[in-house]
Amino acid sequence: MLGTLLLAAGVLLLLEATGLMGAVGVLWGLLFLAAGAAFAVLYATDPSKWWAAIPAGTLLGLGLLVLFDDAGVPGSQQWGGALFLGGGGAGFAAVYLRDHRRWWALIPAGVLITLALQALLTAAAQEEQAGGVLFFVGLAVTFALVAVLPTGAARNRWAWIPAAALALLAALIALEATVLLSAVSYLWPLALIAAGGYLIVQSLRRRHDTPEHGPAPGPGSTSSAARDR
């Protein structure tokens, strides 16, 4: 399958370079869709190939973007990027859904889906401030999900710290509180330092609470100790 896709890509590049074919955009879009579908099948049929969901979503989104742009669909240049970003976000979300122990995939999934929604809002409303609020709200929701969703182990309670900080930033942008925003630029790194310190202290505390078992005494240790007395 991969060899076929590489061969098709090489042929398309050659035809485009020689100017022998004008409808290259459509074929590129179909090629991206075919590649994305191949990775999607790999993800669906082989549980060990969880990573295939990422290129699957990305390539499917890219294929739709190329096809819509080549077909001249109205507004595709404004909202087409949301297809690409949303596809990538969906791929990372599928990684988490396959195995909750890969909770880290929620973060890139949330970021990419947030950027896709921001692109749609900016294209529809032409409101940069609203886009900024949506961006930080989306990131806050992302970290809140990291904190509450199952991880296959302990909950990621630390994620509430960036979630709260990002929600505060969204509120300040919505209120146009420029003075407070300048203060938050100092509070944000302090919050990260506090979160890192909390994780380090928790790790050291768990290590300290773990009982250390020394080597078991030999069979003659009791009798030899009695003789020494």
| pLDDT for 225 | 47
Is residue 131 a part of any domain in this protein? yes
Residues 137 and 201 in one domain: yes
- 187 and 98 co-located in one domain: no
Cα 146 to Cα 90, 104, 203: the distances in Å are 16, 8, 19
Say yes or no: 177 and 135 in one domain: yes
Q: Of 60, 94, 125, which marks where a domain is finished? A: 125
The whole-angstrom separation of Cα 68 and Cα 87 is 15
Q: With 70 as the cut, is the pLDDT of residue 181 above it?
A: no
Q: How much is the pLDDT for 21?
A: 47
* 112 vs 102: CA distance, rounded Å: 17
DSSP category for residue 47: T
- Whether residue 45 has pLDDT greater than 70: yes
Give 148's pLDDT tier (boundaries 50, 70, 90). Answer: very high
- Is the full-model pTM beyond 0.85? no
Which pLDDT score, from 0 to 100, does residue 171 have?
85
Handedness of CA 135, 139, 142, 147 (dihedral sign): negative
- Token representation of residue 115: 């950027």
Tell me: do 202 and 150 sit in the same domain: yes
Q: Phi and psi (nearest 5°) for 47?
A: -60, -25
| 8, part of any domain | no
In the listed set 90, 125, 160, which residue is the last one of a domain according to the structure?
Answer: 125
Q: Considering the domain boundaries, does residue 134 fall inside one?
A: yes
Same domain, 112 and 142: no
Q: Is residue 221 part of a domain?
A: no
134, 165: one domain: yes
Give a yes or no: residue 59 inside a domain: yes
Is residue 147 pLDDT above 90, yes or no? yes
Are residues 109 and 137 located together in one domain of the fold?
Answer: no
Cβ-contact 151, 123 below 8 angstroms: no
Number of domains in the chain: 2
Q: Which domain holds residue 144?
A: 127-207
- Asked whether residue 96 falls in the same domain as residue 106, the answer is yes
Taking the C-alpha atoms of residue 136 and residue 105, their distance in angstroms, rounded to an integer, is: 18
**Is the same domain home to 121 and 41?**
yes
Distances (CA, A) of 82 to 31, 68, 125: 20, 12, 15
Q: Check whether residue 150 and residue 200 sit in a common domain.
A: yes
Residue 4: inside a domain:
no
Q: What is the mean pLDDT of the chain?
A: 77
- Give the Cα separation of 61 and 79 in Å (integer): 12
| Residues listed for the chain | 229
Q: Categorise residue 126: left if φ over 0, alpha if ψ from -120 to 50, beta otherwise.
A: left
Q: Is residue 132 part of a domain?
A: yes
Residues 107 and 197 in one domain: no
Tell whether 9 is covered by a domain. Answer: no
Do 42 and 84 share a domain, yes or no? yes
Q: Give the domain-ending residue among 79, 94, 125.
A: 125
